[in-house]
């Protein structure tokens, strides 16, 4: 069960977006594993993709199609990543787009493909083709929940969130869903995220908004330090609310960006809370750095340390592991004297050693919690950054050892 999250909340429909989920048996039996999202004509779409050099075939094709035209459909499958499949994989991705386009009456370039699952296996396109007509027949604005469940792989729960805000005095809706549990360190993790709004947003403003939101959310999480071949985050604006078109100069644009950021942050944190085998949700906050880069360097060194992560799983206040990680993070000319380490409200290290008054009982009290703040004060500047991570449990090893079986 995810840390601090039990089930998918009610997700509000977004005017101009219809969804449908069906069982195509791409890999799984007895569950939906294929999603079609239909976008109203005139919708604008922004996207951010993985930076992994071995990006999957659907990532390549989706980028190509976005460069040509505005999408009308998103086609998403779980169970098979269609990554590491070379030219045949590209042919499979394009064939699936063509199959949907023929049934939907649009051009193949207006379909964006997305896949998640096992790497290195051919996509069974014929299984997808066999259920596309029925999937299109089931399109509805109210199918966000079924779609969020269908895109899951090792996730234990579906992940989604809805927010509303005022634009031109009218209420507009933002609804998003995401999947991800392991192979998580997005560089735009395996993660996919889809967010839609009925606001009208100019193309450049939409892309800028998404880029900023992703940078402070999906690019600030890590479960295991592995960046997937398939990561994608899509933001769609249908304009169906009837509000004026937001650009960067519009008075309501900052509020819109804030709302998008809140949706992305919530989805990103849900991925960490549902990290494979996770029993702890950990916030690593680094303050007093010279710049953002070195703050993140320290945060990720701590977050990726197997010794720190296993201590968190054991609820062991072995703060020496955190100290050692900070020390090996590679900061130039780090003066350890002003460095402070905190567990929640408990200072554990100050002036190069154990903080006066610290007791093992204080550390144990914090480490027994399901949600923990590790705060690192570098004392060499004004920059700060926050990263969210999880612990490393026996279940993480078991899940990934058995993933393809």
Report the catalytic residues: 190
Which residues, in sequence order, are bridge partners of residue 175? 162, 196
The span from the first CA to the last CA of the chain, in angstroms, equals: 22
Contacts of 340 (CB under 8 A, 6+ apart): 347, 349, 350, 355, 375, 376, 377, 379
Q: In 10 A of CB 303, how many CB atoms?
A: 24
Helix axes 125-137, 86-104, angle to 10 degrees: 20
Query: How far apart (Å, rounded) are the C-alpha atoms in residues 380 and 377?
Result: 9
Helices (H), 175-277: 203-215, 253-273
For 234, list phi and psi in degrees, rounded to 5: -120, 135
3-class DSSP state for residue 84?
Answer: coil
3-class DSSP state for residue 49?
Answer: strand
Distances (CA, A) of 248 to 16, 163, 243, 301: 23, 21, 15, 36
Q: Nearest 5°: CA angle at 346, between 341 and 349?
A: 30
Helix axes 203-215, 253-273, angle to 10 degrees: 40
Q: Structure tokens of 228?
A: 């997937």
3-class DSSP state for residue 306?
Answer: helix
């Amino acid at each position: 069960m995810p840390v601090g999250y039990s089930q998918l909340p009610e997700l509000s429909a977004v005017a101009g977006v219809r969804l449908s989920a069906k069982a195509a048996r791409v890999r799984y039996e007895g569950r939906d594993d294929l999603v079609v999202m239909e976008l109203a004509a005139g919708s604008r779409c922004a996207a951010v993709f993985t930076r992994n050099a071995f990006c999957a075939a659907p990532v390549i094709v989706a980028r190509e199609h976005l460069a040509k035209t505005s999408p009308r459909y998103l086609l998403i499958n779980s169970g098979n990543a269609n990554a590491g499949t070379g030219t045949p994989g590209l042919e499979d991705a394009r064939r699936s787009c063509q199959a949907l386009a023929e049934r939907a009456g649009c051009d193949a370039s207006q379909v964006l493909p997305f896949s998640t699952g096992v790497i290195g296996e051919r996509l069974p396109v014929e299984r997808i083709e066999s259920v596309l007509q029925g999937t299109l027949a089931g399109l509805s604005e109210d199918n966000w929940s079924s779609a969020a469940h269908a895109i899951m792989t090792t996730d234990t729960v579906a992940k989604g969130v809805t927010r509303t805000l005022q634009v031109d005095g009218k209420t507009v809706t933002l609804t998003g869903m995401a999947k991800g549990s392991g192979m998580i360190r997005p560089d735009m993790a395996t993660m996919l995220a889809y967010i839609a709004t009925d606001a009208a947003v100019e193309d450049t403003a939409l892309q800028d908004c998404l880029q900023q939101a992703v940078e402070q959310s999906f690019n600030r999480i890590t479960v295991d330090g592995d960046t997937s071949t398939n990561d994608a985050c899509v933001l769609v604006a249908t304009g169906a609310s009837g509000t004026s078109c937001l650009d960067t100069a519009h008075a309501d644009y900052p509020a819109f960006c804030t709302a998008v950021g809140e949706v992305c942050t919530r989805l990103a944190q849900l991925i960490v809370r549902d990290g494979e085998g996770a029993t702890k949700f950990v916030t690593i906050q680094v303050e007093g750095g010279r710049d953002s880069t070195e703050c993140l360097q320290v945060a990720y060194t701590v977050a990726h340390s197997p010794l720190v992560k296993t201590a968190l799983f054991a609820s062991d206040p072995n703060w020496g592991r955190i100290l050692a990680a900070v020390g090996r993070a590679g900061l130039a000319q780090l003066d350890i004297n002003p460095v402070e380490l905190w567990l929640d409200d408990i200072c554990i290290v100050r002036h190069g050693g154990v903080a006066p008054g610290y007791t093992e009982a204080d550390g144990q009290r914090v480490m027994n919690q399901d949600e923990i703040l590790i705060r690192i004060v570098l004392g060499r500047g004004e920059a700060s950054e926050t990263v969210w991570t999880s612990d490393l449990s026996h279940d993480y090893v078991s899940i990934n050892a058995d993933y393809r079986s």
